[in-house]
């Protein structure tokens, strides 16, 4: 049983692999932003990937199938999904002008936190994810979903509202990102200084 729980092919890990494989499909669909049916297909893939993000962690805990591989791949899959989506939305002009700063803030924070976590893992220090950071992630994912729908969403909402809602949520996520990023940075620097003092 222990080997089955830690298997690289248990269901939570398979869901994570699926999320990683969804990224090139999402990127390919967003190469033709004027084709609204492709935008809706991209949104469907993105939402499915977001659902698997919740399910893989939930099932891993519920079925005691947590593994080192899953803990490594899960945040990588999340960051790749967000980064690839933001880059494609910038390239097609959905995110432009001042909204570029929101995307830059979010991407820089992802790199910062990844670097900190990698360093702190070497000294066996873990920084727990705060509740605010979880809300930030949720808002960020919803924002990107609205932006992927983009102009295609005008069929459901008044013209331009889908993108406006997405950009508003993206800015809210960016502001929260600055706060939570500072929190992580402060905690990380404290551990780094403690490590230097011990040496």
| Domain total in the chain | 2
- Which of 145, 161, 120 shows the shortest CA–CA distance to 48? 145
Same domain, 69 and 102: no
Domain of residue 100 covers: 95-199
Using CA atoms, how far apart are residues 183 and 176, in angstroms rounded to an integer?
11
pLDDT of residue 1: 43
What pLDDT was estimated at residue 197? 63
The length of the chain in residues reads 199
Average pLDDT, consecutive stretches of 10 residues, N- to C-terminus, the chain (199 residues): 62 87 94 90 94 82 77 84 94 93 91 75 65 84 95 89 95 91 76 66
What confidence score (pLDDT) does residue 124 get?
65
Same domain for 18 and 70, yes or no, is: yes
% helix, strand, coil for the chain, step of 5 = 80, 0, 20
Cβ pair 80, 20 in contact under 8 A: yes
Nearest partner of 99 among 193, 6, 176, 163, judged by Cα: 163
Distance CA 50, CA 112 (A): 22
Residues 134 and 166 in one domain: yes
Domain boundary, last residue among 58, 92, 126? 92
Q: What is the reported pLDDT for 198?
A: 63
Residue where a domain stops, chosen among 92, 108, 143? 92
Which pLDDT score is estimated for 199? Answer: 60
């Amino acid at each position: 049983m222990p080997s089955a729980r830690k298997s690289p092919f248990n269901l939570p890990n398979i869901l994570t692999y699926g999320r990683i494989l969804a990224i090139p499909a999402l990127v390919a669909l967003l190469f033709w932003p004027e084709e609204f049916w492709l935008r809706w297909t991209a949104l469907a893939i993105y939402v499915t990937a977001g659902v698997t993000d919740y399910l893989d962690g939930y099932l891993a805990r519920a079925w005691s199938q947590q593994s080192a591989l899953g803990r490594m791949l899960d945040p990588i899959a999340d960051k790749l999904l967000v980064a690839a989506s933001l880059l494609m939305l910038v390239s097609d002009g959905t995110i432009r002008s001042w909204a570029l700063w929101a995307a830059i803030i979010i991407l820089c924070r992802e790199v910062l936190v990844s670097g900190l976590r990698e360093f702190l893992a070497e000294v066996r220090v873990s920084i727990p994810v705060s509740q605010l950071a979880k809300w930030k992630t949720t808002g960020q994912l919803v924002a990107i979903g609205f932006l992927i729908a983009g102009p295609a969403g005008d069929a459901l909402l008044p013209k331009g509202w889908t993108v406006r809602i997405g950009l508003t949520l993206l800015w809210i996520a960016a502001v929260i990102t600055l706060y939570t990023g500072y929190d992580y940075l402060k905690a990380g620097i404290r551990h780094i200084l403690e490590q230097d003092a011990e040496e």
